[in-house]
Structure 1
Amino acid sequence: MASSGSRAAGSLFLRLAGLSGASAVGLGAYGTHVLKPKAGIEHEKQVFDSANKYQFLHTLALLAVPLTKRPMLVGSLMVSGMTLFCVPCYYYAMTSDPALVPVAPYGGTILIVAWAAMAL
Structure 2
Amino acid sequence: MIKIFVVLGSLNAFLAVALGAFGAHALKAKLSKEMLEIYQTGVQYHMIHAVGLILIALLADKLGNSTLVNISGWSMMIGIVLFSGSLYVLSLSGIKILGAITPLGGVGFLLAWVLIAVAVMKS
Q: TM-score, normalised by structure 2?
A: 0.84
Match of 1:119 in 2: 117
Per-residue Cα deviation, 1:21-60 (whole angstroms, up to 9, x for no partner)? 1111110111011111236x11110100100000000011
Whole-Å separation in 1 of the counterparts to 2:33 and 2:116: 35
Match of 1:21 in 2: 13
Question: Which amino acid counterpart does residue 50 of structure 1 have in structure 2?
Answer: T
Whole-Å separation in 2 of the counterparts to 1:71 and 1:11: 13
Q: For the Cα contact (< 8 Å) 2:69–2:115, is it kept in 1? A: no
Instruction: State the percentage of identical aligned residues.
Output: 27
Question: Which amino acid counterpart does residue 99 of structure 2 have in structure 1?
Answer: V
Whole-Å separation in 1 of the counterparts to 2:30 and 2:72: 38
Question: Which amino acid counterpart does residue 35 of structure 1 have in structure 2?
Answer: L
Match of 1:10 in 2: 2
- Give structure 1 regions of 4+ aligned residues with deviation exceeding 6 angstroms: none
Whole-Å separation in 2 of the counterparts to 1:34 and 1:97: 20
Match of 1:4 in 2: none
- Where structure 1 has 5 or more consecutive residues not aligned to the other structure, the ranges are 1-8
**Matching of residues 55-94 of structure 1 within 5 Å:** 55-66=46-57, 67-68=59-60, 69=66, 70-94=68-92
